[in-house]
Homo-oligomer: A and B are copies of this chain.
Amino acid sequence: MAGISSSIVAPPRYRRMPSRPRSEGKRAKIVDAAMRHFAEQGYHAARVGDIALALGIAKGSIFQHFGSKGGLFFEAYKKAVRAFPRYLDAPTEVRETGFFEVLRYWLARTEHLLHEDWIPYRVSLLGNYGTDLTLKREINRFLLAEDPYGTVPFVRCGLQRGELRDDLDQEMMVSILDWTMERFQDALLTEELDPGLFRRHGNVMEKKEARIIQFLAMLKRAIGAEPRR
């Protein structure tokens, strides 16, 4: 990366260009192409030059718009993540069956969503694990500010319905939910990140459904309200 280099941890600026009037469409096209390239090649293997080539524009143009490869990726990441559904986007009839049923609904669907549109998923995976800590920091700031999966309102909703414990900090529950759901989904979906859950003993697919049930049961005990007796 460019610039100031070594002050212990180099802090490159992902400079935000002021959005000029006529270039919005072009920016969007670049970001789309970038998403495809990053998804297919990975962050490092993707070449800015290739992206420009594929679009029939000059490489310099991309840098003019996004400042750096990292800046371009950050935009692609944001777009990818914003394309995902939020928890409370589940159909009403599912939502009415309760907090944990919503979770089950999305877990059962992740695979389907992935095959339908794998590019955003792959890009978000890169953002979570495959770039560098400086970018990751920026990404976490973004996730915190935007809550793109709507975890906070989802948890708030669960609290209001009395389905979640009221003796835990809301942030704690949000964090736990974010962490475990993310990792569980990654384990369900990816080969790179599978931390053993589906491979430790070689049983790959057949137990998936059972795992989801177990996982949800655990989560329910962890943060669910005590059932009345």
Chain A residues within 8 Å of B, Cβ to Cβ: 1, 5-6, 8-10, 40-45, 125-126, 128-134, 136-137, 140, 143-144, 168-169, 171-172, 174-176, 178-180, 183-184, 187, 191-197, 199-201, 211, 214-215, 218-219, 221-223
Contact = CB atoms under 8 A, between A and B. Distances in A.
A159 to B, nearest CB: 15
Contacts of A43: 132
A2 to B, nearest CB: 11
Contact of A196 (B175, B183, B197, B211): B175
Nearest to A199: B144
A227 B6 CA distance: 54
B41 A133 contact: no
Nearest to A219: B222
14 contacts: A1-B44, A6-B45, A9-B45, A42-B133, A126-B133, A130-B132, A130-B133, A136-B193, A140-B194, A144-B199, A144-B200, A169-B211, A172-B211, A179-B183
A8 B40 CA distance: 6
Nearest to A218: B222
Given A133-B193, A175-B187, 14 more contacts: A8-B40, A9-B40, A9-B42, A10-B41, A136-B193, A144-B199, A169-B211, A171-B196, A175-B195, A179-B179, A179-B180, A179-B183, A180-B180, A218-B223
A37 B41 CA distance: 27
B195 A45 contact: no
A172 B213 CA distance: 11
A132 B214 contact: no
A218 B168 contact: yes
A114 B41 CA distance: 35
B136 A192 contact: yes
Nearest to A173: B218
Nearest to A152: B200
